[in-house]
Chain A
Amino acid sequence: MNGTATPLVEMRNIEKYYGRIHALQDVNLTIRPGEIVGLLGDNGAGKSTLIKVLSGAVPYTSGKIRIKGREVTLRSTSDAIEAGIETIYQDSALVPQLSIARNLFMGRELRKGPRFFDWMDQERMNEVAGQLLKRVGISKDIPATTPIGALSGGERQAVAIARAMHFESELIILDEPTNNLGVAETQGVLRFVREVRNQGHSCIFIAHNIHHVFQVVDRMVVMRRGKVAADDLDPETSSIQEVENIITGEHLAA
């Protein structure tokens, strides 16, 4: 938490209206390089909206976003991906009919031979994909030629995370990645998140389950009713009860 390095992402005074719903009210969020931030809050608090703004998926009403000190306008998800911000929703980022390797390299396929033939280098794509799968810890016995449709929810997330890591996304955003996952798969996802940090990427991790968040993050940000209620909770020093109180607003009632 040294304030000297340029933050990776700075969101300043973000406002967002959905018609008359004021979904984000003067939200400020800073993410430093290599930091894993847990984003918490009740249903409807505005977590998804905030990260959709940051990933270019929805336009915002006003405010500024800086990435590595440079002001940016994110008009589309591909703008954000270009800027090094990759958001992983369950499933939605992969093509179920295509193989793991083809998904990993989608839009950035490796090629061989004369450009005119547009030939894909499938052998090398499969090989690199195999190594990547090992790196994120999904293992030995799933060949890179397996279609995504044959994978479990956790494995699909692993593929999406592996892809973000391989293409050097600096910030990987996971919106409720552990929803609908079994115990073993949840552990898998948490392991990928740690791996993300070990490789020097930053991560925003949104989850309902506070326990999951406590296990992996460096810092917690809590949102309530469209506002940031707390943004520097340290999992080492705060208790789960304290954080829960902030999420529900109990601490104000007292």
Chain B
Amino acid sequence: MTDTRTTAKSATPPKGPGALKRLVAMPEFAPMVLLAVMLVVFTAINPAFLSLRNISNALTFTVELGLIALAMTLLMTSGEFDLSVGSVFGFAPVVMWALFNTLGLPLFPAFLIALVVALCIGMVSGIFVTALRIPSFLVTLGMLLMVRGSALWLTSGFPQRTWDAGEQWLAAVLVGDFYIGGLRIYMSLIWFILIALAAHLLLTRTRFGNWIQATGGNEGAARNRGVPTKRVKLILFMLSAAMAGLAGIISSIRVSAANPNSGMGYELEVIAMVVIGGTVLTGGRGTIIGTVLGVLILRLMRNGIVLIGVPGLAYNIFIGAIILGMMALHAGLERRHNEGT
């Protein structure tokens, strides 16, 4: 009576080809291939693409959206997403610089308060989603409008002055730069790498990471086993808002402007990064490595198509095509996987 199973099992190929199959089945496989293809094609057309200067430029801006994408990956793995990150990206720096400029608060307390405000925004979204069971699409859409509206109303639509006298150590810690050889490295890149590493370990190695995946994979089952699924989601909403706030602040220091309009549309670009990386919109499966690849793909695409002479305005055509192509590929792999071939 066990024969059916034994034969089914022995049909799966041993070691060598099996390893290859597992590699292909990994959600990170497709973005990895895409990134490699992009590097080859862009460099072939314009060798300047691989120059140190270009790479260091490309990486700078990357991390601001990338930080949000890391937190969004965790949130999406738990089965929710957050459309308000772009407006929090604009709002948090406005709060920080308004406190600094008008109340004369030192920069660090103003920074902390701005982050707490972001955490509160995430908490409200999380409460609406978990306690009132309203879909996160609607909750965070409402939040997007409220937060963006607050930023515009607080500032009357004008950018905040971001610089007042002297060196600020916080600015150096967040966006300072240094050189390694000819490569100019920004501190924000170091932060991105550290946080990506922490998020990866959190998701794959810790108990909380198991809870995130269980919550997104089968919430009822997880709850029955005592996993505090609501708390998991609430924490992740708060984390994603805080990351959006931090990213906005880093950006405002880098470009020396806190514009209440900044970050518009970022939510969609961030979600694009995450799904291109192989994280599933419906939850249960997420990969930080994939998201890092997704971040690089979108960034290098933006940079690459300009270098090879395609008008920058065409950027969205490529991004849209990549998303559709990747989704088709993932769906195909998923189907093959489920059919067990």
Contacts and interface: CB of A to CB of B under 8 A. Distances in A.
A187 B216 CA distance: 33
Contacts of A29: none
Given A117-B206, A120-B205, A184-B5, A150 B340 contact: yes
B220 interface: yes
A139 B2 contact: yes
B330 interface: no
Interface in A146-194: 149-150, 152, 155, 182-184, 187-188
B1 A187 contact: yes
A141 B7 CA distance: 11
B16 interface: no
B1 A188 contact: yes
A117 to B, nearest CB: 7
A106 B222 contact: yes
B207 A111 contact: yes
B227 interface: yes
A78 B207 CA distance: 19
Contacts of B205: 119-120, 122
Contact of B210 (A77, A81, A98, A187): A98
B231 to A, nearest CB: 13
A122 B210 CA distance: 11
Contacts of B207: 109, 111, 118-120
Given A81-B226, A118-B206, A106 B2 contact: no
B338 A149 contact: yes
A148 to B, nearest CB: 9
A20 interface: no
- Among A78, A97, A149, chain B packs the most CB atoms within 10 A around the CB of A97
Given A98-B213, A149-B338, A81 B225 contact: yes
Nearest to A109: B207
Given A81-B225, A108-B226, A184-B5, A120 B206 contact: yes
A52 to B, nearest CB: 13
A220 interface: no
A95 B226 contact: no
B1 A183 contact: yes
Interface in B217-253: 217-218, 220-227
B208 interface: yes
Q: Tell me what chain B mostly uses at the interface: helix, strand, loop, or mixed.
A: helix
A98 B207 CA distance: 13
Contacts of A117: 206
A92 interface: yes
Contacts of A37: none
A19 interface: no
A182 B5 CA distance: 11
B1 A109 contact: no
Given A81-B225, A107-B227, A96 B284 contact: yes
B341 interface: no
Contacts of B211: 107
A94 interface: yes
A93 interface: yes
B102 interface: no
Which 3 A-B pairs give the minimum distances between C-beta atoms? A107-B225, A95-B217, A107-B226
Interface of B: 1-6, 9, 205-211, 213-214, 216-218, 220-227, 284-285, 337-338, 340
29 contacts: A78-B223, A78-B224, A78-B225, A81-B225, A81-B226, A92-B218, A92-B220, A93-B224, A94-B221, A95-B214, A95-B217, A95-B218, A95-B221, A97-B284, A97-B285, A102-B210, A102-B214, A106-B210, A106-B222, A106-B225, A107-B211, A117-B206, A118-B207, A119-B207, A149-B338, A184-B3, A184-B4, A184-B5, A188-B1
Given A78-B225, A96-B284, 9 more contacts: A78-B223, A78-B226, A81-B224, A93-B225, A98-B214, A107-B214, A108-B225, A149-B337, A150-B340
